[in-house]
Amino acid sequence: MTSAGRPYLLIDDFLDEESWTDVWSMLQFADLAPVSRTKGAWKLDDGVPLGSQEIITPPRTAELLHDPERPDLFPSETALDHVLAALLAESPEFADLIGDAWAHVTARAYVYPRGSALSWHGDDHDLYAGAYIYYAHPHWNAHWGGELLIADMPEGRDALPIMGHRFDNEAYSEALMELGVGHYIAPRPNRLVVLGGAPHMVTPVRAAAGDAVRASVSGFFLNRAMSGDDAPESE
């Protein structure tokens, strides 16, 4: 587990087998809806990714008690709790990448069927200390796509805007082309990726995936106190 000067950190075999299976099983029955094209970085040609209800941890100093009237709060008594509990336990290891001043963590399950993707974008540094993706699917083939691409951002360079305009993104494209290099991360099962804010995207899941889906739990480390209703969409 190391960032080694890179804009991300990896932890493989992140959850124990039982917890991982519980998350994957949840995705078979959870209520999933198409992600919004009016919020977030998804563009019209990104296909139809699906997302579950989002949950959010209370402030870090608050007592962790389940509230049946707030299904959006951790602990939620859903399988998403496995991911958030493991993140909170490991969070000191992320400090070099995202700092230690964040207030909450969010979690939402996502399913990317074949033909779906997520366009290039960055994360709003005023809102987010960092982001994460946990890959919950039990198997993946290298020819199925769905890789996470992360652009290199030279030190001292001004950050790109959060994302290009919905229809006219030429200026954003030119800035990315000027950067020109970066990293790719395969959606290896039971892998956690923590991001420090560099521009990133999810490549399309290819037709070769058939009925297999890129299944993940992802969210943000939020810089300021927010309610569940305020929490922004993940990836």
- With a pLDDT cut of 90, the percent of the chain lying above it is 60
Mean pLDDT (whole number) for 148-175: 76
What is the spatial distance between Cα 135 and Cα 12, in angstroms, rounded to a whole number?
A: 10
Instruction: Give the mean pLDDT of the chain.
Output: 87
Joined together, the tokens standing for residue 162 give: 């959060």
- How many Cα neighbours within 13 Å face the side chain of 131? 28
pLDDT of residue 229: 42
- With a pLDDT cut of 70, the percent of the chain lying above it is 86
Which pLDDT band holds residue 200 (cuts at 50, 70, 90)? very high
Task: Burial-class residue 196 by CB neighbours within 10 Å (0-12, 13-18, 19+).
Answer: buried
Q: State whether the Cα torsion 77-83-86-91 is positive or negative.
A: negative
165-192 pLDDT, tens per residue? 777 788 888 888 888 899 999 999 999 9
Angle between helix 80-90 and helix 17-29 axes, rounded to 10 deg: 140
pLDDT of residue 231: 46
Mean pLDDT (whole number) for 96-124: 93
pLDDT of residue 59: 81
Q: The whole model's pTM is what?
A: 0.90
- How many Cα neighbours within 13 Å face the side chain of 195? 30
Indicate whether 227 pLDDT > 80: no
pLDDT of residue 78: 94
Mean pLDDT (whole number) for 18-39: 91
pLDDT of residue 175: 84
pLDDT of residue 190: 98
Query: Which residue ranges form the domains of the chain, and what is each CATH number?
Result: 8-222 (2.60.120.620)
Indicate whether 4 pLDDT > 80: no
Are 209 and 150 in contact, with CB atoms under 8 Å apart?
no
